Structure 1
């Protein structure tokens, strides 16, 4: 007991120390504005109106995730819009999750040092930086907290079943779903750990029916919410065969970045075509490893459980239901990598056991483990620093990825917010050159050109933006301003009216149409 407390404390403090730099970071204009700084309900803090909204209203195409919203509202109540408190809340949740990983694995396996190694990898791995340093990913951190709490309660229930322990499992699982619906696959993971390390009989699975029913309900509700917000239109970014290919490639890429966590980016673009040959090779690799884990299931059950943990937990965000232009995301690996870390830890532990009587080899193995954790820590500290502000973050994304038109667009917007119109325009043009069908940079570039008294050139950008997105009031408004600057008032009024036809509450156009 004393050893577990010492290990838990060390893991918690190590995590706090490694991410302490975030207390000096700003919010980033990458959902932080949408979720927090410009969200009127969150900005009000914890009020009856905002709490009601959190439990009843889907927002920006996401499912209802009230616990995540409530945590943001609590931060506003405590810290206002000072980003330091919001960032440190993320760090504290990640530190708590790290301790929970250790507690749950030790409780299941009775192997404290192997469990501590998994928790240490979970704490320091650079792929987890995005989940911690990005305030908007609070939903993922909270869902993971309640996910791990569910497992903790479940293991206690398995060891000595009771109604109240089972209720605690249901409550924690529901909280995980209400933080982020990604938790729908958790009941399958519970089936996996029943096989190893809990070694339960298969006839015990009926008790999970309520959990599976909650998962089905959450999945259906999330799908309906996304359909209501027309999120399904983004499913057609790629044909199904290419989405499937991208999913297999992403599975392999996450593994590669686990072993070589370099060139990490907040945005990885899925391009118009996916290399199908790479997809076939990735599928063959995944199939081969899966087959090996089944063949070795008796000899190394942890390999089977860890591998399928990885595959199953990553499945909802692997890209089969492609939303937008993102091929993969570091934050998606937050929970799935626990399965890979279990495999690494158990294999390393077995290796140490075999060398226990051979002093020098044992010391070499221990040194390798400690060196690995130290190197990962330094890489995470360096990766975290890129999240300090928008310009740093999106400059990094543009530099380590190819043809990342979204990174250039966001970088342009970051420079625009700083008043540097020349750099902003340059990055908007780079975004357009890479992806001419991406409408967003045209509008912003048009307004910059208007400020530079280049009305004709600006009108070309606004015209293209309205062609690509006929429901954009800003593009019609910009076209109207371009015509006004050219002295063509009557033509300008036509475009102002078009802007109001799309959005009757579009304030700037109302100034011209009385």
Structure 2
């Protein structure tokens, strides 16, 4: 497949994934708010209903919301109210939008790191319409999940680009995206571990993973033995861990912020 054909294939599959996601979840545009957490996140929150303002942004970063500190999620709800008021259908469809973007990003990521377009398309399609995604997409209060999902996929893509060309700018971009993901939902604290798993496969960045790599089939048995016997130029695991120290620091910071938010919320409840 030529580069031009490959590009059009990627575009076509991306459009298909978006259409598939909206075909399944577009019906949520007819749904209402539910009484479980939706009032807490939107309807009964005066700061959120006021829309996206400088005062609201400051509040999102300095206050605990729904027993969590996730300012970007809070700001996304503010932005919805700024555009749509408290129209539940529009809030639902924003969730669908974020999920469709995450599905496309997953496809692009897998296609780039595995060079297998159709297998990547299948995996992304399963992710797009998997029943386990229904709660996150069809529930307005779960905006944090679909929003963090977008930043998670962007972080993985940025990491892959950084492994190809290790510049300070690319590392800062990856760290910024990861930080945004943590400020959407702290569940992403395990991302540095996931990056280490990607180093092993399919990126094959570690010495151990490289030692298990098979030599090309076109080589004869003698040449194949020589390839297996060559010392890997990949970095050791210690270096792979050390290069992710800033990301681990962000994860630890998110853990501290989450524990503080939970304890603060618990203390407020006991006080009331």
TM-score of the aligned structures, taking structure 2 as reference length:
0.83
Residue ranges of structure 1 left out of the alignment (5+ in a row): 234-470, 472-501, 504-514
**Distance in 2, Cα, partners of 1:27 & 1:58:** 22
Is 1:33 matched with 2:69? Answer: no
Match of 1:61 in 2: 67
Is 1:169 matched with 2:174? Answer: yes
Match of 1:155 in 2: 160
Cα drift, residue 13 of structure 1 = 1.2
Match of 2:80 in 1: 75
Cα drift, residue 205 of structure 1 = 2.8
**Distance in 2, Cα, partners of 1:216 & 1:27:** 34
Match of 2:262 in 1: 226
Q: Say which SS state the counterpart of residue 179 (structure 1) adopts.
A: coil
**Distance in 2, Cα, partners of 1:72 & 1:180:** 14
Is 1:210 matched with 2:246? Answer: yes
**Distance in 2, Cα, partners of 1:55 & 1:228:** 15
The number of residues matched between the two structures is 235
User: Equivalent of 1:2, from 1, 5, 8?
Assistant: 8
Per-residue Cα deviation, 1:366-386 (whole angstroms, up to 9, x for no partner): xxxxxxxxxxxxxxxxxxxxx
- 4+ residue runs over 4 A deviation: none
Q: Say which SS state the counterpart of residue 81 (structure 1) adopts.
A: coil
Higher relative contact order (CA 8 A, sep 6+): 2
In the TM superposition, 1:76-95 aligns within 5 A as 76-95=81-100
User: Equivalent of 1:118, from 113, 119, 123?
Assistant: 123
In the TM superposition, 1:249-328 aligns within 5 A as none
Cα drift, residue 83 of structure 1 = 0.8
**Distance in 2, Cα, partners of 1:79 & 1:182:** 28
Match of 1:48 in 2: 54
TM-score of the aligned structures, taking structure 1 as reference length:
0.45
Two-structure CA RMSD over aligned residues (Å): 1.7
Cα drift, residue 208 of structure 1 = 0.3
Match of 2:231 in 1: none
**Distance in 1, Cα, partners of 2:205 & 2:27:** 44
Match of 1:146 in 2: 151
Is 1:188 matched with 2:196? Answer: no
The structure number with the bigger radius of gyration is: 1
**Distance in 2, Cα, partners of 1:46 & 1:211:** 29
Residue ranges of structure 2 left out of the alignment (5+ in a row): 1-6, 207-236
